[in-house]
């Protein structure tokens, strides 16, 4: 199916990436995982996803600063970023949205809710 939407999941927890790969693939998305900010940047040099799922706490670069980097690059500035984190405090949520995230989800992730957010983010990109 040529119309599969590409989701780049950036998370340093392999089990979370496995959840995205199995769950979102079953829902009809193409999924690529990057286990670090550096690997996400490498991926973005060669492919442009329809949406990015971004963890906040990672070993090499936090997701908020990586979101800011993605937003400041003209090649990726229009890719919607959904921040997904175990952190649920208002300051983290505010920072994520301030630096360019279009939405925020708190772990553990419900795949039905995530699909709704993915579809909404992709529809925003088309407008």
pLDDT given at position 89:
83
Q: How far apart are CA 121 and CA 84, in angstroms?
A: 14
Do 64 and 99 meet the contact criterion of CB atoms below 8 Å apart? Answer: yes
Do 4 and 47 meet the contact criterion of CB atoms below 8 Å apart? Answer: no
pLDDT tens-digit map of 72-110: 999 999 999 999 988 778 888 888 888 899 999 998 899
pLDDT tens-digit map of 47-72: 999 999 999 988 889 999 999 999 99
Give Dmax (Cα) for the chain: 40
∠99-104-109 over CA atoms, to 5°?
145
Q: How far apart are CA 42 and CA 30, in angstroms?
A: 18
Q: What's the whole-number average pLDDT of the chain?
A: 92
Q: Which domains does the chain have, with CATH numbers?
A: 6-126 (3.40.50.2300)
Q: Write down the pTM of the prediction.
A: 0.93
Q: Where residue 113 falls among pLDDT bands split at 50, 70, 90?
A: very high
pLDDT at 126 over 80: no
Burial (CB < 10 A; 0-12, 13-18, 19+), residue 11, is buried
């Amino acid at each position: 199916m040529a119309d599969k939407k590409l989701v780049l999941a950036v998370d340093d927890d392999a089990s979370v990436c496995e959840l995205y790969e199995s769950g979102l693939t079953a829902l009809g998305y193409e999924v690529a995982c990057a286990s670090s900010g550096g690997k996400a940047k490498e991926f973005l040099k060669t492919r442009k996803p329809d949406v990015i799922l971004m963890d906040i706490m990672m070993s090499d670069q936090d997701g908020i600063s990586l979101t800011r980097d993605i937003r400041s690059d003209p090649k990726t500035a229009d890719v919607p970023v959904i921040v997904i984190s175990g952190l649920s405090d208002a300051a983290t949520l505010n920072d994520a949205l301030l630096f360019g995230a279009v939405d925020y989800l708190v772990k553990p992730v419900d795949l039905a809710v995530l699909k709704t957010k993915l579809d909404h983010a992709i529809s925003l990109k088309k407008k």
